[in-house]
């Protein structure tokens, strides 16, 4: 349910609405039920205002003036082989009165500098341990803990699950966060979107907060098992088909393309595709890959949704998560489905991406189960209903899609 506003709110009315938002956030509810819709000057609706409506309580909560736009991007982005060292200097200089570190126990031995900089047994700072792929109720209890601790800053150290938890908690309790990724496995390291497990194995993408500082240590990231780097690679390359779908939708349905979000998304995959000697042994390549994942994440902040980095290939991957019970890495799935969708588009980029993936060795990381036709039939059916986003799949029948899939698999098998 959407409302548009044709008047400017008086300042006391604004503050009332904002008070309500704060009140709701304090009570840890409804924030994820909020939906925002941006209206430009180019649609049928001629208003620069957007209504934010709490769906649960069916009431208008806040009006946002979009005559100008504000986006959240990190104040500090440090991508270097010594970023952890930079973080320790930063943390010392900031002299936070109370920090809450959210991580997982084994990560403390991978990044010992964290515990030596922020002693876990100090009275001042608190450590919380996140579980792998937490469910919403686990996150809610973490939110309550954080709210009791009342830290000045949240520091997330870990892989995708930890970072998603921290981004979500930070959004709910409205506390700034610093992120230290230990894996470069997807573009969530610096995005306003989190994937949260809701019910029946289904994950949902929810709005979260951007970090105010990001320390990505390329030396640390390069030491992680290579499958994670290849997952990051697949996630960056998937922006190709995400943008193609967005453009197709713009032609067919009039969906608005955000210029800057598209540019950032394209930059992220082009810098990878055009890298002269791509190899996971090359620290410069890993640095470029990390930069690309960050750029891709920021593109979503400009787009106001995941549209710039998520198209049909992501819809197929979300469906595959349900079919295979999230057994595979996100980037391995979306990288593979990017090939399928490129083939569906009959674009020369198909050959280009196939050659690139072959050169870097991506195909060795594709789980065999993904290449089978039977599960693909179930995956296609689910992908079509998982999210209503116009793309190339909207133009293809199931048998056509199956043909494209099988032909792509045969091309990949020849290169394996
Ligand atoms: Zn992704």
What's the gap in Å between 60 CA and the centre of ligand 1? Answer: 32
Q: Average pLDDT of 51-74? A: 60
What's the gap in Å between 315 CA and the centre of ligand 1? Answer: 10
The confidence band for 138, taking pLDDT boundaries of 50, 70 and 90, is: confident
The answer to whether 53 touches 60, Cβ cutoff 8 Å, is yes
**Burial code of 318-343, b = ≥16 C-beta within 10 A, e = fewer?**
bbbbbbbebebbbbbbbbbbbbbbbb
More confident residue, 183 or 65: 183
What's the gap in Å between 387 CA and the centre of ligand 1? Answer: 15
pLDDT at 123: 85
What's the gap in Å between 338 CA and the centre of ligand 1? Answer: 11
User: CA triplet 242, 380, 313: central angle to 5 degrees?
Assistant: 15
The answer on pLDDT for 33 being more than 50 is no
pLDDT at 374: 95
What's the gap in Å between 26 CA and the centre of ligand 1? Answer: 30
The correct answer on CATH 3.40.50.1970 for the domain covering 76-223 is: yes
The confidence band for 193, taking pLDDT boundaries of 50, 70 and 90, is: confident
What's the gap in Å between 408 CA and the centre of ligand 1? Answer: 21
The answer on pLDDT for 129 being more than 50 is yes
E strand or H helix that includes residue 64: strand 59-65
pLDDT at 206: 76
pLDDT at 148: 84
Task: Single out the residue of 222, 237, 258, 218 nearest to residue 330, CA to CA.
Answer: 237
What's the gap in Å between 45 CA and the centre of ligand 1? Answer: 31
* DSSP 8-state class, residue 135: B
The answer on pLDDT for 199 being more than 70 is no
The answer on pLDDT for 47 being more than 70 is no
pLDDT at 52: 56
As a whole number of angstroms, the distance between CA 51 and CA 45 comes to 13
In whole numbers, what is the pLDDT of the chain averaged over residues? 85
The answer on pLDDT for 69 being more than 80 is no
What's the gap in Å between 22 CA and the centre of ligand 1? Answer: 31
Q: For the chain, give every domain's residue range.
A: 11-65, 76-223, 226-415
The confidence band for 200, taking pLDDT boundaries of 50, 70 and 90, is: low
Report the chain's C-alpha Rg in angstroms: 22
The answer to whether 158 touches 177, Cβ cutoff 8 Å, is no
pLDDT digits (tens, 9 = 90+) for 215-241: 999 999 999 999 999 999 999 999 999
Sign, Cα dihedral of 292, 167, 59, 9: negative
The confidence band for 20, taking pLDDT boundaries of 50, 70 and 90, is: low
The answer on pLDDT for 30 being more than 90 is no
The confidence band for 196, taking pLDDT boundaries of 50, 70 and 90, is: confident
What's the gap in Å between 330 CA and the centre of ligand 1? Answer: 7
What's the gap in Å between 316 CA and the centre of ligand 1? Answer: 11
pLDDT at 128: 95
The answer on pLDDT for 313 being more than 70 is yes
More confident residue, 4 or 243: 243
The answer on pLDDT for 304 being more than 80 is yes
Q: Which fold has domain 226-415?
A: Dehydroquinate synthase-like, alpha domain (1.20.1090)
CA distances from 170 to 205, 209, 324 (A): 16, 6, 30
CA distances from 318 to 325, 330, 340 (A): 10, 9, 15
Tally of CA atoms within 13 A in the half-sphere of 282 that contains its CB: 11
The answer to whether 154 touches 168, Cβ cutoff 8 Å, is no
What's the gap in Å between 309 CA and the centre of ligand 1? Answer: 7
The answer on pLDDT for 412 being more than 80 is yes
What's the gap in Å between 186 CA and the centre of ligand 1? Answer: 6
pLDDT at 108: 95
Beta strand residue intervals within 98-212, DSSP E? 99-103, 126-129, 153-158, 177-181, 193-197, 203-207
pLDDT at 1: 25
Q: Average pLDDT of 344-359? A: 97
pLDDT > 90: what percent of the chain? 66
pLDDT at 61: 54
User: CA triplet 349, 351, 354: central angle to 5 degrees?
Assistant: 105
Give Dmax over CA atoms of the chain in angstroms: 67
What's the gap in Å between 80 CA and the centre of ligand 1? Answer: 23
pLDDT digits (tens, 9 = 90+) for 365-396: 999 999 999 999 999 999 998 878 899 999 99
What's the gap in Å between 114 CA and the centre of ligand 1? Answer: 28
What's the gap in Å between 103 CA and the centre of ligand 1? Answer: 22
CA distances from 43 to 5, 46, 49, 273 (A): 15, 7, 13, 35
User: What residues does 35 pair with on adjacent strands?
Assistant: 53
């Amino acid at each position: 349910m959407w409302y548009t506003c044709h008047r400017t709110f008086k300042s006391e009315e604004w503050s009332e609405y904002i008070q309500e938002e704060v009140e709701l956030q304090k009570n840890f509810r409804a924030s994820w039920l909020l939906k925002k819709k941006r209206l430009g000057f180019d649609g049928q609706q001629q208003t620069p205002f957007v209504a934010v409506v709490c769906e649960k309580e069916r009431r208008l909560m806040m009006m946002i003036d979009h005559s100008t736009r504000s986006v959240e991007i990190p104040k500090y982005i440090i991508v270097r082989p010594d970023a952890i060292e930079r973080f320790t200097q930063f943390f010392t200089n900031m002299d936070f009165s109370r920090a809450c570190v959210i991580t997982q126990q084994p990560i403390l031995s991978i990044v010992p500098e964290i515990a030596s900089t922020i002693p876990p047994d100090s009275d001042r700072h608190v450590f919380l341990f996140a579980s792998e792929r937490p469910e919403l109720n686990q996150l809610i209890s973490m939110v309550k803990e954080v709210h009791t601790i009342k830290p000045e800053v949240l520091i997330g150290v870990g892989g995708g699950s930890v970072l998603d938890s921290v981004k979500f908690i930070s959004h709910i309790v409205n506390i700034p966060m610093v992120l230290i990724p230990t894996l470069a496995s997807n573009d969530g390291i610096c995005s306003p979107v989190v994937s949260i497990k809701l019910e029946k194995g289904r994950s949902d993408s929810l709005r979260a907060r951007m970090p105010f500082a990001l320390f990505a240590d390329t030396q640390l990231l390069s030491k992680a098992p290579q499958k994670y780097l290849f997952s990051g690679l697949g996630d960056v390359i998937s922006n190709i088909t995400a943008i193609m779908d967005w453009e197709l939708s713009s032609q067919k349905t009039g969906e608005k393309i955000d210029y800057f979000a598209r540019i950032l998304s394209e930059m992220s995959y082009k810098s990878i595709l055009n890298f002269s000697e791509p190899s996971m042994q090359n620290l410069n390549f890993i640095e470029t890959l990390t930069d690309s994942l960050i750029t891709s994440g920021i593109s979503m902040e400009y787009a106001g949704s995941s549209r710039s980095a998520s198209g049909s290939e992501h819809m197929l991957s979300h469906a595959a998560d349900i079919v295979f019970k999230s057994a595979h890495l996100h980037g391995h799935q979306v990288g593979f489905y990017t090939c399928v969708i490129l083939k569906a588009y009959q674009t020369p980029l198909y050959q280009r991406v196939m050659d690139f993936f072959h050169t870097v060795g991506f195909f060795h990381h594709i789980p065999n189960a993904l290449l089978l036709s039977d599960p693909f039939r179930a995956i296609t059916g689910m992908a079509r209903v998982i999210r209503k986003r116009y793309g190339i799949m909207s133009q293809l029948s199931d048998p056509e899609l199956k043909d494209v899939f099988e032909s792509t698999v045969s091309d990949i098998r020849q290169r394996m």
